[in-house]
Structure 1
């Protein structure tokens, strides 16, 4: 009989590509991952892996099993949920991944309301930036993610079902006394000589901000990089930099900063995503509904 945990490791190997990457994702040593996949080969009586130099790759049989494993695991989770509540009352664990600016503004209020409505439903919140959350969803480390579908940044495909839930403007954030702090939408080209605060290299917002600056004809002078929006806002509040940030990230009640929209306007669509073809679970549906309640976009056909 195949062990579900080992099936998950095999599915992760198909998605992540290397034993080392699977080990990091599963918090195991590479040798432990290799050993468990060897046990899975014994359980299935099939060669699932083959070595090519110092690397390991899936055999044709391994590829088939890895790509069926996700459906098998989803089905098992669906059956377990049905047994707990016969599929009527949301129950069990839902792993929800969301990027930083959506945690406090969308997911925490949604989870708080769910805890009151459905006492047998457990939601595990995971902070995952868009470039991290889609792989996590595909390998089964998350059941729902909050991501964004704009700017051609992310590898979306027919294996995911998408539900737009909100829109969010990209804003220029300035110290309160900055000469450009007042007025309407601003042309970024006017900020070419400013000191900039950026997110970590290759992150979603760092890539977006760099692209918008270059489209305006300049290379930004980056004076700091923070992976935490609170630190970025403190740096701006102190008058040390300016930044491009999503509207959800800017807590005006907490930080003395000014914001201006861009000309032309730039917005992103915040989207919930689940794996396509996953068995329907009352728990997942309840979380999606709560997220929609926190957003500003109806489901297609809602009117």
Structure 2
């Protein structure tokens, strides 16, 4: 009989790539993970792993079981929810991964409403930027993510259900009194001599900032890199930098001004869930709460997803 815990370890190995990474994700020792995978091989009477230098990799049988195992785990979670909620009451824990700028504008208001409408549903919020949320969803560390499918570093396959929320414009953020603040729109070429505040390297917004500046003909001179948008906005407030940020990230309580770009750019904000979990009452309730609230009225209508390496203008 298959063990759900060992199935999860095998699925994580397929996603994360190494036994050490699986051990860190599950707070187990690497030797414990290896032992449990060996037990799974005995249970299935199949060779699931093979050595590749110092690492192990999945055999064809291991790949098959890892992918089927993820489906089995989702079905088990769905069955448990159904058994606990025969009256269709959303119940249990749902892990929602959200990029930073949507936490207070989208996720927290949805969680507040759910606490009133579905008190037996426990919503756990996890900050996950676009380059982190896709892998977390596939590995089962998140049940739902709010992300952008414009991030070119990820593929969105048939195993995922994508639910559009809207288009969030990328804006230029300036200190109050900055000379460029007198313009209605700003072409990035005018920012060649400016100093920039950026997100972490290889994150969605850091990559986008570099790409747009290079398209405008210059390399941005970066003064600071903060994963926390509050710190980044405070740096801009001080007059020591400018930044590119999603409009959702800039709230009225910051002493900055925002200007549209001469060539408009946006990101498509979406909800993504694994196929097979969409029928769980708790997951459905969270998706409905994210879609049906006034906070998304600031987003424009979703647009067609651009091709790799492209960005679409705001409608």
TM-score past 0.5 threshold: yes
Contact 1:74 1:279 in 2 (8 A): no
Q: Distance in 1 between matches of 2:187 and 2:273?
A: 37
Once the two structures are TM-superposed, the CA of residue 299 in structure 1 deviates from its matched residue by 9.7
How many angstroms apart in 1 are the aligned matches of 2:251 and 2:84? 40
Q: CA deviation at 1:6?
A: 1.3
8 A contact 1:78–1:279 mirrored in 2:
no
Shift of 1:263: 1.0
Residues 200-249 of structure 1: CA deviation (Å, up to 9, x unaligned): 11011100111011111110001111110000011010111000011111
Alpha-carbon deviations, 1:153-190, whole Å to 9, x = none? 43212111100112211110011011111231110000
Secondary structure of the corresponding residue to residue 179 of structure 2:
coil
Matches of 1:174 and 1:260 in 2, distance apart? 8
Aligned pair in 2 of structure 1 residues 53, 200: CA closer, same or farther (>3 Å)? same
Q: Distance in 1 between matches of 2:301 and 2:202?
A: 32
| 1:32 to partner: Cα distance | 2.0
Distance in 2 (CA, whole Å) between partners of 1:173 and 1:190 is 14
Where do 1:268-283 residues align within 5 Å?
268-278=267-277, 280-283=279-282
**How far apart, CA to CA, are the structure 2 residues paired with 1:117 and 1:89?**
10
Structure 1 position 2 matched with structure 2 position 2 = yes
SS of residue in 2 equivalent to 1:181: helix
Q: Answer yes or no: is the 8 Å Cα contact 1:171–1:244 preserved in 2.
A: yes
Partner of 1:194: 194
- Per-residue deviation, residues 254-274 of structure 1 (Å, max 9, x unmatched): x21111010111111100001
**1:98, 1:107 within 8 Å by CA — same for their partners in 2?**
yes
Determine if contact 1:173/1:244 at 8 Å carries over to the other structure. Answer: yes
**Structure 2, unpaired ranges of 5+:** 304-315
3-state secondary structure, aligned to 2:282: helix
Contact map agreement 2:197 2:223 (CA 8 A) in 1: yes
The CA distance in 2 between the partners of 1:66 and 1:93, in whole Å, is 23
- TM-score, L = length of structure 2: 0.91
Q: 1:289 to 1:170 in 2, by over 3 A?
A: same
In the other structure, the counterpart of 2:308 is: none
- Counterpart Cα distance in 1 of 2:287 and 2:278: 15
Q: Normalising by the residue count of structure 1, what TM-score does the alignment of the two structures yield?
A: 0.94
Aligned length: 299
Residue 244 (structure 2) aligns with? 244
Q: Does structure 2 conserve the Cα–Cα contact (< 8 Å) formed by 1:99 and 1:147?
A: yes
> 2: CA distance between counterparts of 1:28 and 1:129?
25
TM alignment of 1:87-106, pairs within 5 A: 88-106=88-106
| Equivalent position SS for 1:161 | strand
After TM superposition, the structure 1 = structure 2 runs for residues 276-295 of structure 1, keeping only pairs within 5 Å, are 276-278=275-277, 280-294=279-293, 295=296
- Checking the alignment, whether the CA contact within 8 Å between 1:175 and 1:236 is kept in structure 2 is yes
C-alpha contact 2:176 2:257 (8 A) present in aligned 1: yes
Cα contact 1:81–1:87 (8 A) shared by 2 = no
- Secondary structure, aligned partner of 2:182: coil
- CA displacement 1:21-80 (0-9 Å, x = unmatched): 212222222222112211222222322111122110112211111010111001000110
Structure 2 counterpart SS, 1:288: helix
- Counterparts of 2:102 and 2:274, CA distance in 1: 20
Q: 1:298 to 1:258 in 2, by over 3 A?
A: closer
1:87–1:150 distance in 2 versus 1, CA, 3 Å: farther
Q: Distance in 1 between matches of 2:184 and 2:13?
A: 50
